[in-house]
């Protein structure tokens, strides 16, 4: 890929300002978006085009376009992330690396693809999307 740094808009800058300093507890893909469970009671959603939202957990989960059994599994996983310091097996959410406090966010493009690099203290999280197919991939990478 030939990723090119891309500017963020005012709304993205506002959301990013709120998430820097928060710790990612876990993440999942649903409804053509990446979702990050934060330790501040919010879910940070990254859409295919790089637009984003920061929503209270209860509201974010209620608004997902998923089956009710999947929504219930997500709710249970979110509760489990808050109730334990260890990574217990979760049904639908991938636990973030330990100590995943957000320090910076970078945005890149490559034609119809978008990449958001979430730099954390202990590791980096990367969201790559493809507009044409609706694909969303979330990966954890060692901190650089």
Contacts for 45 with CB less than 8 Å, ≥ 6 apart: 33, 34, 35, 36, 52, 53, 54, 55, 60
Q: What is the pLDDT of residues 20-69, one digit of tens each?
A: 999 999 999 999 999 999 999 999 999 999 999 999 999 999 999 999 99
Q: Is the pLDDT of residue 101 over 90?
A: yes
CA distances from 41 to 61, 69, 81, 85, 86 (A): 12, 22, 11, 16, 18
* pLDDT of 55: 98
Q: What pLDDT band is residue 86 in, cutting at 50, 70 and 90?
A: low
């Amino acid at each position: 890929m030939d990723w090119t740094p891309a500017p963020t808009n005012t709304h993205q800058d506002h959301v990013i300002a709120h998430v820097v300093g928060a710790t990612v507890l876990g993440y999942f893909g649903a409804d053509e978006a990446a979702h990050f469970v934060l330790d501040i009671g919010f879910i940070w959603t990254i859409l295919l085009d790089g637009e984003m939202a920061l929503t209270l957990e209860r509201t974010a989960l209620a608004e997902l376009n998923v089956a009710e059994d999947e929504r219930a599994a997500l709710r249970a996983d979110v509760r489990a992330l808050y109730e334990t310091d260890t990574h217990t097996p979760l049904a639908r959410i991938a636990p973030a690396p330990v100590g995943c406090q957000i320090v910076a966010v970078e945005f890149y493009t490559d034609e119809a693809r978008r990449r958001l690099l979430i730099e954390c203290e202990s590791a980096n999280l990367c969201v790559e999307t493809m507009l044409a197919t609706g694909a969303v991939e979330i990966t954890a990478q060692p901190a650089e």
